[in-house]
């Protein structure tokens, strides 16, 4: 028996190894919900230490023609586009044709003069304070996905903005506007469109043959996927209706993005100096160092540093995950919005093929209990963010509620409350204020407020028409029964839900907060609207 035992253990180990699923089988399992001839799906590619490993497609590129997704299928990748726009600007900076620290008005003089100059670098860091173009257009009455949005539409509405979300470099707010303006700057500096410049300066040198900035929404693209959304029990075709680039509209494949990992690792174009510039973290005037660099985000996965970016537009979702220490990475592109989580799929693909360079899973901190938040439950409001949240208890566990969603609070080692499995956290101050720190590193204070149920007289005080010169639109508030209703162009009437005194949120998932502005006599003279990426948008009262 003593002679047989070693062989027995060796045979057992070999048997277990043979039974363990292969990386390919694990990948198939991860993407199984998105594989089939009756649904859209995803494509994925993996690079291991600079070497191409795998590229596969799952599901259908076009349900009408029964065309399957392959590694060469072309996807709209939404905000994954931003790092390519930023790299184009970095190359122009290296060539001395512009400076990242140029005042943006040097190249786009039609922008207003604000309290401090805005630099190109701040735009690409999202620290400029520029209001987001999509939120502006939606607030002005545009229906994204239905109404065609061109670069000119953005250039019509952005210069009309008299205010910023905040003074440059004092805060961070994701703003697509800065990247559309970057595309305009590329054209004005080089005489070429961003599409043409990126093609000659980036895509051709890197061998990215199936990649381009899609600046003509009518252009026929061979191998293009169609976008879909699952609605009312069936797949509906959903197409990003854009003729604007920079912030979005890169068309590419997972095979080409495998080549992009080589650029991020080696700086094939522009050298490692260009990559160092692209990935340099900004520092706010508050001293906070942020994780978002020039169109790409620093992070970690199981203790391993990453560079990553997600993308989401009507009908599409994408994720690029890069490991800068080794040059490894994953790309996941899906032709469905809301039907897939490409970030999680990228993590599963990394676990299957790149697990050797990832650290162990770290258990999450323990949950915050009801006893630990006793006396702190209630509604909280951030003036700077124009946002609200609630500390609540669900089945004995403390949660942070924003809208209809709830995130479990967990106790960090330093006593702060971590929001779920992410890097964001809340810390209670001595006066009861909650200081929120995002996963990116910027901070905002939330103070506790008392909810209010307004009387009909309070509703009537708001009933009027309101105009915004910055948006060129008129909104109307009316009283209907015991409710305040908002009417605006192109949209159905929406019921306003009271939060606290003079503050309302929009029902029907519209996602903005409205506040009443009163004069010294208490009369409502205006309203302000905040939608996350647009803050303190003022509408003046124009009549009874």
Show the domains of the chain with their CATH numbers.
75-80+194-357 (3.40.710.10), 371-449 (2.40.128.50), 456-543 (2.40.128.50)
* Of the candidates 305, 337, 336, 310, the residue with the CA atom closest to the CA atom of residue 322: 305
Residue with tokens 């590419």: 252
Percent of the chain whose pLDDT exceeds 70? 96
- pLDDT recorded at residue 8: 39
Residue 17: Cβ-neighbour burial (10 angstroms; 0-12, 13-18, 19+): exposed
- pLDDT recorded at residue 4: 41
pLDDT score of 375 more than 90: yes
Beta pairing partners, 443: 437
Q: In angstroms, what CA-CA distances link 428 with 223, 432, 450? A: 53, 6, 18
pLDDT score of 7 more than 80: no
- Contacts by residues 110-114 (CB-CB < 8 Å, ≥ 24 positions apart): 110/155, 110/159, 111/158, 111/159, 111/181, 112/159, 112/161, 112/162, 114/164, 114/167, 114/168
What is the spatial distance between Cα 167 and Cα 173, in angstroms, rounded to a whole number? Answer: 11
Q: How many CA atoms lie within 13 A of 150 on its CB side?
A: 5
Neighbours of 342 (CB within 10 A): 28
Residue predicted with more confidence, 219 or 543: 219
- pLDDT recorded at residue 236: 94
What is the spatial distance between Cα 181 and Cα 183, in angstroms, rounded to a whole number? Answer: 5
Q: What are the pLDDT digits (tens) for 237-281?
A: 998 888 899 999 999 999 999 999 999 999 999 999 999 999 999
What is the spatial distance between Cα 534 and Cα 466, in angstroms, rounded to a whole number? Answer: 18
**Mean pLDDT computed over 514-518:** 96
What is the spatial distance between Cα 282 and Cα 128, in angstroms, rounded to a whole number? Answer: 12
Q: What are the pLDDT digits (tens) for 339-366?
A: 899 999 999 999 999 988 899 988 999 9
What is the spatial distance between Cα 322 and Cα 376, in angstroms, rounded to a whole number? Answer: 40
Would the CA dihedral through 501, 502, 503, 506 be positive or negative? positive
- pLDDT recorded at residue 543: 72
Per-residue confidence at 85, pLDDT binned at 50, 70, 90?
Answer: very high
* Of the candidates 431, 430, 421, 432, the residue with the CA atom closest to the CA atom of residue 391: 432
Residue 518, helix vs strand vs coil: strand
Q: In angstroms, what CA-CA distances link 305 with 82, 327, 358? A: 20, 11, 9
What DSSP string describes 250-307?
EEE-HHHHHHHHHHHHH-TTTHHHHHHHHTPPPB-TTSPBPSB-SS-EEEEETTEEEE
Judge whether 85 and 315 are in contact, CB under 8 Å: no
Q: What are the pLDDT digits (tens) for 121-140?
A: 999 999 999 999 999 998 99
* Of the candidates 315, 313, 303, 306, the residue with the CA atom closest to the CA atom of residue 346: 306
pLDDT score of 386 more than 70: yes
pLDDT score of 36 more than 70: yes
- pLDDT recorded at residue 416: 96
Neighbours of 263 (CB within 10 A): 23
- pLDDT recorded at residue 15: 53
Per-residue confidence at 17, pLDDT binned at 50, 70, 90?
Answer: low
**Mean pLDDT computed over 164-182:** 97
- Report the predicted TM-score, pTM, of the whole model to 2 decimal places: 0.93
Judge whether 518 and 535 are in contact, CB under 8 Å: no
Per-residue confidence at 411, pLDDT binned at 50, 70, 90?
Answer: very high
What DSSP string describes 161-180?
----SSSTTS-----THHHH
**Mean pLDDT computed over 399-426:** 94
pLDDT score of 14 more than 80: no
What are the φ/ψ torsions at residue 107 (nearest 5 degrees)? -105, -25
Q: Which of 9-13, 82-86, 107-111, 468-472 has the lowest mean pLDDT?
A: 9-13
pLDDT score of 539 more than 60: yes
Residue 200, helix vs strand vs coil: helix
**Mean pLDDT computed over 146-168:** 94
pLDDT score of 507 more than 80: no
Q: For the chain, what is the mean pLDDT?
A: 93
- pLDDT recorded at residue 12: 53
- 526-537 burial, b at 16+ Cβ within 10 Å, e below that, comes to bbbbbbbbbbbb
- pLDDT recorded at residue 10: 44
**What count of residues does the chain have?**
544
pLDDT score of 438 more than 90: yes
Beta pairing partners, 526: 517, 540
Per-residue confidence at 532, pLDDT binned at 50, 70, 90?
Answer: confident
What is the spatial distance between Cα 294 and Cα 182, in angstroms, rounded to a whole number? Answer: 12
Residues in CB range of 35: below 8 A, 6 or more apart:
28, 41, 58, 59
Residue 484, helix vs strand vs coil: strand
What is the spatial distance between Cα 402 and Cα 405, in angstroms, rounded to a whole number? Answer: 6
Beta strand pairing status for 228-231 and 67-68? unpaired
Residue 224, helix vs strand vs coil: strand
Beta pairing partners, 44: 56, 332
**Mean pLDDT computed over 385-405:** 93
């Amino acid at each position: 028996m003593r002679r047989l035992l070693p062989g027995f253990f060796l045979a057992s180990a070999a048997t277990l190894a043979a039974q363990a699923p292969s990386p390919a089988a694990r990948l198939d399992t991860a993407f199984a919900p998105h594989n089939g001839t009756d649904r859209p799906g995803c494509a994925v590619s993996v690079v291991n230490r600079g070497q191409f490993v795998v590229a596969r497609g799952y599901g259908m590129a076009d349900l009408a023609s029964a065309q399957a997704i392959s590694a060469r299928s072309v996807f709209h990748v939404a905000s994954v586009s931003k790092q390519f726009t930023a790299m184009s600007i970095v190359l122009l900076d290296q060539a001395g044709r512009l400076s990242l620290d140029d005042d943006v008005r040097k190249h786009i003089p039609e922008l207003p003069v604000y309290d401090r100059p805005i630099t190109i670098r701040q735009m690409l860091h999202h620290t400029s304070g520029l209001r987001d173009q999509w939120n502006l257009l939606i607030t002005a009455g545009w229906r994204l996905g239905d109404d065609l949005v061109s670069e000119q539409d953005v250039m019509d509405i952005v210069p009309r903005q008299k205010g910023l979300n905040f003074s440059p470099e004092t805060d961070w707010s994701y703003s697509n506007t800065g990247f559309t303006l970057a595309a305009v700057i590329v054209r004005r500096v080089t005489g070429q469109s961003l599409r043409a410049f990126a093609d000659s300066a980036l895509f051709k040198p890197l061998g990215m043959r199936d990649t381009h900035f899609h600046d003509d929404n009518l252009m026929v693209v061979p191998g293009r996927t169609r976008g879909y959304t699952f609605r009312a029990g069936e797949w509906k075709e959903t197409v990003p209706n854009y003729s604007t680039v920079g912030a979005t509209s890169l068309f590419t494949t997972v095979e080409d993005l495998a080549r992009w990992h080589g650029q991020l690792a080696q700086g094939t174009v522009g050298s490692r100096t260009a990559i160092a510039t692209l990935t340099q973290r900004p520092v706010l005037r508050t001293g906070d160092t942020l994780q978002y660099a020039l169109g790409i985000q620093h992070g970690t996965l199981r203790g391993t540093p990453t560079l990553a970016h997600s993308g989401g537009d009507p009908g599409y979702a994408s994720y690029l995950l890069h490991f800068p220490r080794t040059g490894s990475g994953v790309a996941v592109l899906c032709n469905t919005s809301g039907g897939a989580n490409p970030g999680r799929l990228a993590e599963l693909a990394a676990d299957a093929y790149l697990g050797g360079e990832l650290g162990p899973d770290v258990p999450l901190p323990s949950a915050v209990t009801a006893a630990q938040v006793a006396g702190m439950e209630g509604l909280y409001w951030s003036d700077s963010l124009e946002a609200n949240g609630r500390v609540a208890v669900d089945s004995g566990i403390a949660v942070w509620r924003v809208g209809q969603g709830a995130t479990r609070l967990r106790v960090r080692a330093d006593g702060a409350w971590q929001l779920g499995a992410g890097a964001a956290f809340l810390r209670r101050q001595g006066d009861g204020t909650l200081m929120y720190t995002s996963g990116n590193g910027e901070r905002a204070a939330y103070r506790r407020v008392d909810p209010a149920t307004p009387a009909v007289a309070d509703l009537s005080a708001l009933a009027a028409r309101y105009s915004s010169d910055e948006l060129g639109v008129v909104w109307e508030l009316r009283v209907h029964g015991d409710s305040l209703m908002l009417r605006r162009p192109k949209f159905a009437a929406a019921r306003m839900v009271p939060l606290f005194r003079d503050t309302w949120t929009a029902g029907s998932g519209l996602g903005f907060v409205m506040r009443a502005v009163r004069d010294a006599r208490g009369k409502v003279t205006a309203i302000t609207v905040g939608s996350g990426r647009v803050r303190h948008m003022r509408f003046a009262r124009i009549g009874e």
